[in-house]
């Protein structure tokens, strides 16, 4: 069985980060109509399972990248915790991308950060 390449997992992670944020927006909108406007529960019934699936997919992709990219624990921790707060997955994705954690080959900056974390 052939495993997906690092670049494919990174692409999937980036897509899931944005999709998870959009699903948060849909779920929050559905919650507004259910609990504040008290007009319909359809938004929560539709957006809830979609958001749940994207949340799990994002988490699995983050765990895969933790292993594949050899992220330090704090990077993996922030990837996971970002899924709990609305729209934070997009912020994490941008932060990680800017620091070289979402590139298939280790960059000099990524290596330097790992060395700093290891106390080198």
Q: Which residues contact 60 (CB under 8 A, 6 or more apart)?
A: none
Q: Per residue in 35-78, pLDDT tens?
A: 999 999 999 999 999 999 999 999 999 999 999 999 999 999 99
CA dist., res. 27 & res. 85, Å (int): 13
CA dist., res. 114 & res. 59, Å (int): 22
| Both tokens assigned to 11 | 């692409």
Q: Per residue in 26-36, pLDDT tens?
A: 999 999 999 99
pLDDT over 90 percentage in the chain: 82
């Amino acid at each position: 069985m052939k495993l997906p390449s690092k670049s494919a997992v990174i692409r999937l992670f980036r897509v899931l980060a944005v999709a998870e944020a959009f699903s948060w927006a849909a779920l929050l909108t559905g919650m507004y109509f259910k609990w504040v406007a008290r007009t319909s529960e359809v938004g929560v019934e539709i957006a809830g399972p979609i958001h749940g699936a994207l949340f799990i997919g994002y988490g699995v992709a983050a765990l895969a990248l933790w292993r594949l990219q050899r992220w330090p624990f704090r990077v993996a921790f922030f990837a996971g915790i970002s899924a709990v707060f609305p729209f934070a997955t997009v912020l994490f994705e941008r932060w990680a991308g800017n620091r070289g954690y979402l590139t298939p080959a280790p960059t000099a900056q990524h290596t330097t950060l790992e060395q700093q974390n290891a106390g080198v």
